[in-house]
Amino acid sequence: MTIRVGPWSVRLAPRALLVGALLVVVACAVTVAAISTGEFTVPVPDIVSALFGQGTPVAELIVNKLRAPRVVTGLLVGAAFGLSGAIFQSLTRNPLGSPDFIGFTAGASTGGIVAVVAGGSAMAIAGGALAGCVVTAALVYALAFRGGVQGYRLVLVGIGANALLLAVNSYLLTKANINDAATAGAWLTGSLSGRGWDHAVPVAVALAVLLPVCAFVARPMRMIEMGDDAAKAMGIRVEVVRAVAITAGVLLAGVATAAAGPVVFVALAAPQLARRLTRSAGVTMGASALMGAVLLTVADLAAQRVLAPTQLPVGVLTAAIGGTYLALLLRKDRH
């Protein structure tokens, strides 16, 4: 279905719109469930009153200070990871082309560990994670560049960088004192515990800035999926589009990791699940972002409520689910 407004035209896929709408409904339902349930139940009318500053002091404390910031951070971080995964899977034309596998998340982890060992604050750890992700991406891109960046080369170089950085992270943890090692280990699992509005706002700003960029490069990226030569024949500036897309994907992964730690497998699974639901020929940006938001918030809600009183960090649960999904993916697509 194509909508034309003057010289502009927008192509809409009805199934993708339906899937997106359903994911929004699920995200809203999970948000309400996460905010209302717990040791202290808050009815939905009281949630609305608390959000507008008209609730009881207890309700406002629970909703505005404890639960709402955590849920919103989870939604935003999940969306950022899902969108980042969609970008890299599209560029590499490989379902394993996600920040988890090509070293960017490991680089962010290295930056965060260095900040912890140096005695940095929470802001310093977040900054170290973002810097580590950006530096790693720059090195991987430079090493993979040979008359252009091919998808398979980017994946192979990224996997090598990921293995090297994991070794560096292990070395840093063994050399750190026990308190720093415990702090870094807790951060490395990926968690939304204790997250406030100061964690949600930077991710929201990053998404507000980078979503238009992703929308702008989405169509050229679909052309690049058919091959560089075909894309160039249609007038696409392949390396420029690829550089812009990689920059956006790296920043999204870095900001998300800085806010919640290296939550694994969301960037891998969200685009693939979105693609299967929408039955799209390529990776869909919007559906991937919504799927990432839903996956992370559902996993965090399950870690808090279903597995209570264990209270697992959300990264542990996403790793368990993602590992199972990866095994199924590899079994189905053996080639």
User: What confidence tens digit (pLDDT) does each residue in 201-223 have?
Assistant: 999 999 999 999 998 888 888 88
The reply to whether the predicted model has a pTM over 0.85 is yes
Domain boundaries, the chain: 23-332
Confidence of residue 149 (pLDDT cuts 50, 70, 90): low
Q: How confident is the model at residue 37 (pLDDT cuts 50, 70, 90)?
A: confident
d(CA 135, CA 206): 18
Q: Where are the alpha helices (DSSP H) in the chain?
A: 14-36, 44-51, 57-60, 68-92, 104-117, 122-144, 151-175, 178-188, 197-224, 228-233, 238-260, 266-278, 285-301, 314-332
- CB-CB contact of 159 with 102 (8 Å): yes
Res 74: pLDDT = 94
Residue 282 carries which side chain, given as an amino acid letter? G
Could you tell me the two tokens for 155? Answer: 């994946």
What letter would DSSP give residue 283? -
Query: What CA–CA distance (Å, rounded) separates 208 from 307?
Result: 34
Task: Give the number of other CB atoms < 10 A from CB of residue 280.
Answer: 17
CATH code of 23-332, in short, is 1.10.3470.10
Quick: pLDDT tens for 229-280: 787 888 888 888 888 998 999 999 999 999 998 888 899 888 988 888 888 7
What are 114's two structure tokens? Answer: 């260095």
The reported pLDDT for the residue numbered 296 is: 93
pLDDT higher than threshold 80 for residue 136: yes
Q: Which residue has the higher pLDDT, 208 or 40?
A: 208
From residue 232, alpha-carbon distances to 12, 134, 228, 290, 304 in Å are: 25, 28, 6, 31, 49
Average pLDDT, integer, range 315-324: 81
